[in-house]
Amino acid sequence: MIKLENVDKYYNYHMDTEVHALKNVNLTINDGEMVAIMGVSGSGKSTMLHILGCLDSQTKGKYFLGEYEVCKYSSNTIAEIRNEEIGFVLQNFGLLSDKSVYENISYPLIFNPAVKYKMMKRLITKAAEDMLVSDFLKKPVKELSGGQKQRVALARAIVNRPNIILADEPTAALDKNTANDIMNVLINLNKNGKTVVIVTHDRSVAEKCNRIIELSDGEIISDKENIPA
């Protein structure tokens, strides 16, 4: 379960250039939900995702990730939590383009102490097969198409078998057909029990989720259940 309690986020806090990015946000996302966070540019949706992904911390309020109250832990523990609990998918894939698909998928496993070196190959191959990129394992990422890159990013996100997948505009850089493919992958992941949180400004992407949260000027202005078409 993900829970935000009275969360505020300021950039340049107490400075002339202070920005109040999130305002008293209260939000609970249950395990197995597929949630879309929508809003225009500057509404605070990416900020929220980064807080949810432990990439950033709130200025005020509390953030619970399962049993953890995140702000109470050291950065090393937060890194471990991020490694074990969260898989990231970024708009521009967040891959190292000169490295091979295999290497890019391997990174979360390298930083997971529970995974032994010998186990890595099997886990990477399995994740690549699930995301249909097993034929390109030795190829450098820069030689792949946009859709293939996003599949590699998804493979990397799931290779550590996290409970939560956070996707920041996962289809923004893709054409319509490829975007549909990627959304189907995310839907399947959700059906397999993963909690999926997608930040998007694309209504058609949000419509495929079970719940749509709309943000405006750092505040939640609507939080509705949705039945995907």
Nearest distance, CB of residue 129 and other proteins, angstroms = 20
Block residue for tokens 């719940």: 211
Using the minimum distance from each CB to other proteins, give the nearer residue, 17 or 229. Answer: 17
Helices within the chain (DSSP H only): 45-52, 75-85, 101-110, 117-130, 146-158, 176-191, 203-206
Q: Which residues pair with 12 in a beta bridge?
A: none
Among 5, 56, 181, 207, interactor with other proteins by CB under 8 A:
56
CB of 51 within 8 A of CB of 57?
A: yes
Question: Binders of other proteins: how many residues, by CB under 8 A?
Answer: 36
Stretch that binds other proteins, among 17-25, 29-37, 71-79, 125-133 (CB under 8 A): 71-79
Our finding on whether 156 is near other proteins (CB under 8 A) is yes
Our finding on whether 8 is near other proteins (CB under 8 A) is no
Block residue for tokens 């839907």: 187
Residue type, 166: L
Query: 201 is written with which tokens?
Result: 């400004």
Residues 90-149 that bind other proteins (CB under 8 A): 90-92, 94-96, 98-99, 103, 106-112, 115, 117, 120
How far is Cα 211 from Cα 178, in angstroms, rounded to an integer? Answer: 23
How far is Cα 180 from Cα 176, in angstroms, rounded to an integer? Answer: 6
Q: Which residues bind other proteins (CB under 8 A)?
A: 46, 50, 53, 55-56, 75-76, 79-80, 82-84, 88, 90-92, 94-96, 98-99, 103, 106-112, 115, 117, 120, 156, 160, 168-169
